[in-house]
Amino acid sequence: MQISPRQLKLLIATIIFIATIGIGYGVFYFLNFRIVETSPNVDSFPDSLGVLNIKYNHELDEKYIEDSFNKNPQDMVVFSFESINTIEVSGDTLKITIGTTPLPGKYALILNNIKSKNGSLLNSNIVMTVKKIKYSQLSEADKKMYNEQASSGETFPDDPIVDVLPHETDKYKISYAFPAEGIQQPATINITMKFFEPGDIALPATPQERQRYLKDLRTYTNQALDYLRSKNINLNNYILDYTAIDLRSEFPAGYRPS
């Protein structure tokens, strides 16, 4: 089939038009200031991790971002859960250290006035889905982040508690801490009550309130211990620390040096 000169011109014009649109989109896509990656992936953020790296397609203005954050952190980095955060800027990456990783669920992260070195400003609303993911099920990249996080003040042995903790309900929280490198003792399991307790802002006003508090303390501490046992955690292998001082002697002490 022979193409007429008119058809050839039309074909060439079409090709040029499509190429122009493609090039224009490519230029816009690569030059427009934007987030290109989060690590870990915000669609499946492990509840055991307290670090989020956000990578942009342009180098960031480190001084502007850090000065703005230090002036008013809540104007720049806002999670929909309560958390005291810190940030670091390195090249094209904003690193957020999350003070308190929330329970599994969907949360919002709002980033305001993130500035690139070329002067572009970007506001972003990110949906962050926190999931309970065992250490053994993390990606290699996320395991590396976890190990780096743990090594800043803690060592990270291959221990079964990292697959089941932290664990939290509306009444108690169980976390852990490994000893500093070189110290020959097991990890400490911390059991913290989250309801009204003596030593907080208020104290039980009556003997009845005191007895009710102690009853709840027994109930929820035992629930926390039962959770650990249900996960086949041998309490004798760990130092057990109860944040609530009352009734400590009633509960297992765990490992104690001989």
Mean pLDDT of 36-48: 90
Domain shared by 125 and 43, yes or no: yes
Residue 23 lies in a domain: no
Please check whether residue 126 is in contact with residue 42, taking contact to mean a CB–CB distance below 8 angstroms: yes
Q: Classify 80 as helix, strand or coil.
A: coil
Residue 257 lies in a domain: no
Residue 180 lies in a domain: yes
Beta-carbon count within 10 A of 213 CB: 19
pLDDT above 50: residue 154: no
57 token code pair: 């397609």
What pLDDT shows up at residue 227?
95
Q: Which of 63-77, 101-115, 172-186, 190-204 has the lowest mean pLDDT?
A: 190-204
Residue 163 lies in a domain: yes
Q: Which residues pair with 133 in a beta bridge?
A: none
Domain shared by 121 and 162, yes or no: no
Domain shared by 210 and 158, yes or no: yes
Q: What percent of the chain has pLDDT over 90?
A: 29
pLDDT above 50: residue 28: no
The sign of the dihedral angle between the CA atoms of 221, 224, 229, 234 is: negative
The count of structural domains within the chain is 2
Residue 120 lies in a domain: yes
What is the pLDDT confidence band of residue 155, given thresholds at 50, 70 and 90? very low
User: Residue type at 60?
Assistant: L
Domain shared by 74 and 105, yes or no: yes
Domain shared by 125 and 175, yes or no: no
CA angle 130–134–137, rounded 5-degree value = 100
Domain span at residue 207 reads 153-250
User: Residue type at 10?
Assistant: L
229 token code pair: 């046992």
The per-residue pLDDT of the chain, averaged, comes to: 81
Residue 212 lies in a domain: yes
Q: What is the pLDDT of residues 209-253, one digit of tens each?
A: 888 888 999 999 999 999 999 999 999 999 999 988 888 899 999
User: Which CATH number do you get for residue 41?
Assistant: 2.60.40.1220
How does DSSP assign 155-186, residue by residue?
-----GGGGT-SEE-SSEEEEEEPPPTT--S-
Residue 138 lies in a domain: no
Domain shared by 159 and 119, yes or no: no
Domain shared by 192 and 105, yes or no: no
Q: What is the pLDDT of residues 72-106, one digit of tens each?
A: 887 888 888 887 788 889 999 999 988 777 888 99
Residue 83 lies in a domain: yes
